[in-house]
Amino acid sequence: MTITDDLATRLTHRHADLLVLSANVVTPAGIERLDIACLGGRIVALGELRGRWTGDNTLEASGLHVLPGIIDTQVHFREPGLTHKETLEAGTRGAVLGGVTGIFEMPNTTPLTLTPADLQAKLDLAQGRAWCDHAFYIGGSAVNAERLAELENLPGCAGVKVFMGSSFGDLLSDDDAVLQRILRHGKRRMAVHAEDETRLRERRALVEASGDVCDHPHWRDPESALLATQRIVAMAGEIGRRLHVLHVSSADEMAYLAHHKRRVSVEVTPHHLTLCAPECYQRLGSLAQMNPPVRDESHRQALWQAIRDGVVDVIGSDHAPHTRQGKAHPYPDSPSGMTGVQTLVPIMLDHVHKGRLSLQRLADLTSAGPARLFGIEGKGRIALGYDADLTLVDLNAERRISDAWIASVSGWTPYHNEAVTGWPVATVVRGQTVVRDETLVGCSPQGQPMAFCEVTPTQA
């Protein structure tokens, strides 16, 4: 925050842009009853501020809890090229309605995000249309491997994302020589989708014969995920590159990754923590189809144990929408992916309500954790000098998730008609209230690219 004469005067006179009053605030010291003053997009005061500060706007937050703004580090907003499925405007609108203040968007758009021009095109598309702050991944590929050290440091870049499976063309990197080239160029933590493409191709005949979506977790079995994870972790260890393994779905991977935490961080998703095979496939059909797949109860329980054991670092939604028409194609030709950014907070708050994790742990997995792992400047904590990104939630609110609530262009959620306890009621992005009383307020999208700190190659 640049201290202009106007801001200096307002600080002197204790006059904020926004005051959040009487909130239960999740801080690094615990949950405290505090007021928050926001000025120039930053947090400038914490404590008992009622009557001592004035503000242009006020949020009365008695009975609510305030988390550091939720950061969803894995979304697919499909723009450019696939806007019949999702757009940056609709995706980020869904994000803020769901209490999310920042997103990392993935490179499998059309065109793929592989060059500086591709990245700039996305930043341009987001300008004036994104409701929350944002960063975009560059895809790691044979065609740009030697440029990745330069590309990963471009403004607005979240880092490098590699698809070892479940992709196509230049974005599929399943060859050892290509993976080693990618790993050797760059220092930032590299995100990876780890499924063994060779094994998946060999096993596709299983589902082509059955045509049954219930066989999805048998085709893309735990071994397919474990083989790829072991392979990339071993290569990264030899080269000295930090990894972020996305959407870990199996007990086998978690047991392995628990022994490689010095350089490897771990993401899980709400759908892998919540849905369970075979029931979800029987009930939802291909709407439950994801890569890697939702697995049975033994794997789901292993993911929860990994959260309790501290193996998991981040929860990301892997929001990857497809149209209902696309999903209606006969399996296995139906596409994999579901909406998730808007339901991340409600689903996880319901798990908090059911005692599966604490609110402070949730804040670490969705705010402090992403900021720490990826070096996001000014985000992830409610503390003086940090961006005034706030997610206000009512832990006692009982709601029913519905397709009608979903802002995504695709217009559906696998959690349709699911009753939850705990709900986001207001969203503040850099001091601007964009959602109030569960409703988008009358403002224009003002999301900005995130900035990233310099990090050393050995930083965990």
HEC profile for the chain? CCCCHHHHHHHHCCEEEEEEEEEEEEECCEEEEEEEEEECCEEEEEECCECCEEEEEEEECCCCEEEECEEEEEECCCCCCCCCCCCHHHHHHHHHHCCEEEEEECCCCCCCCCCHHHHHHHHHHHCCCCCCEEEEEEECCCCCHHHHHHHCCCCCEEEEEEECCCCCHHHECCCHHHHHHHHHCCCCCEEEECCCHHHHHHHHHHHHHHCCHHHHHHHCCHHHHHHHHHHHHHHHHHHCCCEEECCCCCHHHHHHHCCCCCCEEEEECHHHHHCCCCHHHHHHHHHHCCCCCCCCHHHHHHHHHHHHCCCCCEECCCECCCCHHHHCCCCCCCCCCECCCCCHHHHHHHHHHCCCCCHHHHHHHHHHHHHHHHCECCCCCCCCCCECCEEEEEEEEEEECCHHHCCCCCCCCCCCCCEEEEEEEEEEECCEEEEECCEECCCCCCCCECCECCCCCCCC
- CATH classification of the domain holding 334: 3.20.20.140
The model's confidence at residue 344, banded by pLDDT at 50, 70 and 90, is very high
Based on the domain organization, do 101 and 116 belong to the same domain? yes
Residues 346 and 318: their CA atoms lie apart, in Å, by: 15
Residue 218, token pair as written in the block: 């048998």
At residue 2, the pLDDT reads: 57
Across residues 417-426, what is the average pLDDT? 98
Based on the domain organization, do 148 and 166 belong to the same domain? yes
The model's confidence at residue 3, banded by pLDDT at 50, 70 and 90, is low
- CATH classification of the domain holding 23: 2.30.40.10
| β-strand partners of 112 | none
Residue 238, token pair as written in the block: 């030899």
Would you say residue 457 has pLDDT above 80? no
Contact 422, 400 (CB under 8 A): no
Beta strand pairing call for 432-436 and 439-440 = antiparallel
Query: Does a structural domain hold residue 238?
Result: yes
Query: Does a structural domain hold residue 459?
Result: no
Based on the domain organization, do 229 and 260 belong to the same domain? yes
Q: What is the mean pLDDT of the chain?
A: 95
Query: Does a structural domain hold residue 250?
Result: yes
At residue 172, the pLDDT reads: 84
Query: Does a structural domain hold residue 346?
Result: yes
Based on the domain organization, do 172 and 296 belong to the same domain? yes
Across residues 228-242, what is the average pLDDT? 97
Query: Does a structural domain hold residue 448?
Result: no
At residue 108, the pLDDT reads: 96
Query: Does a structural domain hold residue 313?
Result: yes
At residue 460, the pLDDT reads: 39
Residue 233, token pair as written in the block: 């972790």
Number of structural domains found in the chain: 2
Would you say residue 186 has pLDDT above 70? yes
Query: Does a structural domain hold residue 450?
Result: no
Based on the domain organization, do 204 and 104 belong to the same domain? yes
| β-strand partners of 23 | 34
Residues 211 and 34: their CA atoms lie apart, in Å, by: 56
Based on the domain organization, do 119 and 23 belong to the same domain? no
Structural domain that includes position 114: 70-374
Based on the domain organization, do 58 and 75 belong to the same domain? no
pLDDT per residue as tens digits for the range 118-134: 999 999 999 999 999 99
Q: Catalytic annotation on 318?
A: yes
Residues 288 and 160: their CA atoms lie apart, in Å, by: 27
Across residues 100-106, what is the average pLDDT? 98
Across residues 92-97, what is the average pLDDT? 98
Would you say residue 174 has pLDDT above 90? no
Based on the domain organization, do 87 and 214 belong to the same domain? yes
Distance of CA 309 to the CA centre of its chain: 21
Q: Is 335 exposed, middle or buried (0-12, 13-18, 19+ CB in 10 A)?
A: middle
Across residues 298-315, what is the average pLDDT? 98
Query: Does a structural domain hold residue 456?
Result: no
Would you say residue 106 has pLDDT above 60? yes
Residue 273, token pair as written in the block: 């923590």
pLDDT per residue as tens digits for the range 247-291: 999 999 999 999 999 999 999 999 999 999 999 999 999 999 999
Based on the domain organization, do 38 and 112 belong to the same domain? no
Across residues 204-230, what is the average pLDDT? 97
Q: What is the dihedral of CA 80, 81, 86, 91, to 10 degrees?
A: -10
Percent above pLDDT 90 for the chain: 92
At residue 99, the pLDDT reads: 98
Based on the domain organization, do 363 and 214 belong to the same domain? yes
Based on the domain organization, do 35 and 107 belong to the same domain? no
Based on the domain organization, do 239 and 216 belong to the same domain? yes
The per-residue b/e assignment along 180-216, b for 16 or more CB within 10 angstroms, e otherwise, is: bbbbebbbbbbbbbbbbbebbeebeeebeeeeebbbb
- From the list 118, 133, 174, 318, the catalytic residue is 318
Residue 410, token pair as written in the block: 């695709």
At residue 456, the pLDDT reads: 45
At residue 6, the pLDDT reads: 81
Residues 173 and 377: their CA atoms lie apart, in Å, by: 30
